[in-house]
Structures are given as structure tokens and as C-alpha cells.
Amino acid sequence: MNAMFVVFWKEILENLRDRRTVINTLLTGPLMAPLMFALIINASISRELAKADKPLPVPVVGAEHAPNLIAALKRSGAEIKDAPADPEKAVREQDADMVLRIPAAFAKSWTDGEPAQVELVYDESQRDAQGSVARLRGMLEAYSQQNGALRLVARGIAPSVMRPLAIAERDQSTAQTRGGGLFSMLPYFFILGVFIGGMALAIDTTAGERERQSLEPLFVNPVRRSTLLAGKLGATVAFAFTTLLLSIIAFSVAGQFMPIDKLGISLQMGFYFAACTLLVMLPLVVLLCSLQTLAAAFAKSFREAQTYLSLLMFVPVIPTMMLSLFPLKTQTWMYAVPLMGQHVTILRLLRGDPILPEQLTLCVAATSVAALVCVWITARIYASERLAISA
């Protein structure tokens, strides 16, 4: 027990003297992710806000064929522009969000009372343009309905005849749930912080010790290898946990500066959120740190260990990707899967959704079991003969 703390404090002291490790743990790990995240969110929010208010530039081919339509579009906030020579090409190459084409036959069809065609050239795969296209489509439909109603009135028919169905929308999303969608990447950044925080020590305490040939002398001391490992793992966990703690604090602070309320959403970033996130992340920190130590134990050199750990960093992306590609309904079994359980829990906390105590317990317990298994395997690897041999 005593020897474990000796190893623990020595690793802490030694790594605190390494400026790069300290910067990674205390600065890069916790700050990089929230900062990037805040920038992305800020940019997307201010873009959305700007788009709604600004006049919508609409390149039009053949504006002269429909002066009334053009005038109506201008009244609704469109800014009519000259169309590019090749509208399809311009849209494909993202020079224009969309192009409106009014054929020469428009005026004749209109006066004959037939459906007058206009063409909307756009690119569905261009997510950035979707808002603009939807706005223009809305303007066109409003103009169409308005004139349809006028025609019915001119023939002595009530326009309501054309609307046998009235749809009243009742959106059940709350300010919190709309915020959750935007922040679905948040759990990944927490997990990434843990990875960055633990990386230096996981490598230093195994592959690093072997590379600088200090592992064999260490093993000659009358201390069990499992005790040595416990001290080293403890130090790695301590660094990773510090990163996580700072990461959560940084997120909470960054959240204050994000104009998220302008989108009509709100996020739970209070003490309850921080406490629950820490609780579910704690066993995950142990699991990830021992995974890192395990991977580094197989490496012959520092560099090789770095490669393994970089690959390992992609593992926590899997549940994040899966849940954003297939937005499954949250089910109880998800809490039992390490990484996924944390992901689901953090998202629900953020959205202010209730989490049952047994779900929280399941998440912590399942990840703890996985962590214990991983620590046990790492201890077995650590006890093996070949681990100590440097060359």
C-alpha cells in the first residue's frame, strides 16, 4: 500500500516537471475542445441569425417574364440579382445557393389561368444552402396561394374551399431538447479530454520506462509488480481526471458566453450536471487509462506507443457517430455499454431529461466492471517476463 503511494507521488512529481505534459493536461486537453466547440456553435448560431434577418439574394433568369412575381418577391425580402450564365453549373460549384428560372411561357400560362411553371435550381446535398432554398420556396408558395385565393374570390368561391384540412402544429420540444441536438458532440469532447490527459503518463509509465531502460531496475525492488502498476495507473488516472474536471468547468464557463438563448434553447450546465457527469465518467477514466496503459505496454518504444494510443482515440468516436447517424430512442441497455452509457447520460443531463437512479447506477456499475477487467488484464501483462526486458 505504502509502495503504491511512493510510486504514485513519484510519477506525479516527475510528470509535473515535464512542461509538455502539464500543458496537455491543464491546458490543451481541457481548453481545446470547449474552445473549438464554442467557436463552432457561435459561428453556426450567428450564421442562422444573420440569414433570417438579411435580405435573401435570389439570382433570377428571365425576370422580365413575370414582373408581378418579382415585385412580390422583393416585398417579401428577396434581393433580385442577375443570374449566372449557366445556372446549373453555378449551383453545382456553389457559386450560388440557388437560381430561379422563369420561362418565356410564364406570362401566357398565367393569363390563361393554367399552372405557370417556375424552375428552382438548387443542390439538396448542399446543407449550407438549405435555409435559403426553403426561404425562397416559402415566398413562392405564399405568392401562389395568395393569387389562388384571389382567383377563387373573383369566381365567387370562398378560398377556404381549397383548404379542407387545417394543420395546427404543436411542437413538443422544449428549449432544453433543442439545445441537446446542437450539443450531441459534447460527450465526445469530454472523453477526448480524458484521453489527452492520460496519454503522456500511460506512455511514460510503460513504454517510456522501457525505452529509457529504467523498468528493469524498478522491478528489482522488493515490490509486487501489481503494486507498481497500481501506483502508475493511479497517477495516470489522476492526470486524466484533472483534465476532465477542468474540461467540465471550462465547458460550463464557455456555455455562459454562447448566445444559445437567441436560438430559443437552453442547456443545463449547473452543479447537478457537473456532479452527475463526473460520477459516470469516473469509472470510464479508469477504463480508458488502463486501456492506454495496456496498449502502451505492447509498444517497444515511445513512438510506437504514441501510434497505438492515437488509434485508440478513435474508439470513443464510435458510439458518438452511431448515435448521431442512427438517432435511436434511449433504451436502458445503452447505459450498460461503456462509452455509450456515458454519452447517453451526458446528453440527457444536458437536455434536462430525467435519468432514473437505477440507470445511473447501471452506467457506473457496468463501466466499473469493464474497468476492473481491463485493469486485471493490464496487471497480467505487467507481470509477464518480457515486459521488463528493454532490448
Partner 1 sequence: MIEVTHLHKAFGKVQAVDDVSFIARDGQITGLLGPNGAGKTTTLRMLYTLMKPDRGSVKVDGIDAAIDPLGVRRRLGVLPDARGLYKRLSARENIDYFGRLQGLDTATRASRITELSAALDMGDILDRRTEGFSQGQRVKTAIARALIHGPTNVILDEPTNGLDVMATRAMRGFMRELKAQGHCVLFSSHIMQEVGALCDRIVVIARGRVVADESPEELRAQTGAASLEDAFVKIIGSEEGLAA
Nearer residue to partner 1 within complex by CB, 123 or 204: 204
Nearer residue to partner 1 within complex by CB, 168 or 389: 389
**Using CB under 8 A, which of 32, 279, 336, 388 touches partner 1?**
388
163 three-state secondary structure: coil
Q: How far apart are CA 316 and CA 64, in angstroms?
A: 57
Q: How far apart are CA 334 and CA 281, in angstroms?
A: 15
- Distance, C-alpha 9 to centroid of its chain: 36
Q: Name the segment binding partner 1 (CB under 8 A); options: 166-174, 221-229, 343-351, 358-366.
A: 221-229
- The CB-of-1 to partner 1 minimum distance in angstroms stands at 11
**Using CB under 8 A, which of 110, 126, 219, 377 touches partner 1?**
219
Nearest Cα residue to 190 out of 31, 307, 336: 31
Q: Can residue 1 be called a binding residue for partner 1 (CB under 8 A)?
A: no
Nearer residue to partner 1 within complex by CB, 14 or 353: 14
Q: Can residue 14 be called a binding residue for partner 1 (CB under 8 A)?
A: yes
Nearer residue to partner 1 within complex by CB, 110 or 219: 219
Nearer residue to partner 1 within complex by CB, 96 or 202: 202
- The CB-of-295 to partner 1 minimum distance in angstroms stands at 22
Q: Name the segment binding partner 1 (CB under 8 A); options: 3-11, 46-54, 55-63, 348-356.
A: 3-11
Q: How far apart are CA 63 and CA 71, in angstroms?
A: 10
Cell numbers 493490464 correspond to 378
Nearer residue to partner 1 within complex by CB, 17 or 329: 17
Return all residues near 371 (Cβ < 8 A) that are at least 6 apart: 283, 284, 286, 287, 290, 338
Nearer residue to partner 1 within complex by CB, 66 or 201: 201
Return all residues near 57 (Cβ < 8 A) that are at least 6 apart: 78, 79, 81, 97
Q: Containing H/E element for 95?
A: none
Q: Can residue 209 be called a binding residue for partner 1 (CB under 8 A)?
A: yes
**Using CB under 8 A, which of 119, 216, 261, 358 touches partner 1?**
216
Q: Can residue 299 be called a binding residue for partner 1 (CB under 8 A)?
A: no
79 three-state secondary structure: strand
**Using CB under 8 A, which of 69, 191, 200, 215 touches partner 1?**
215
Return all residues near 347 (Cβ < 8 A) that are at least 6 apart: 180, 183, 184, 186, 187
Q: How far apart are CA 246 and CA 33, in angstroms?
A: 11
Contacts to partner 1 by CB under 8 A: 2-3, 6-7, 10, 13-15, 17-18, 209, 212-224, 385, 388-390
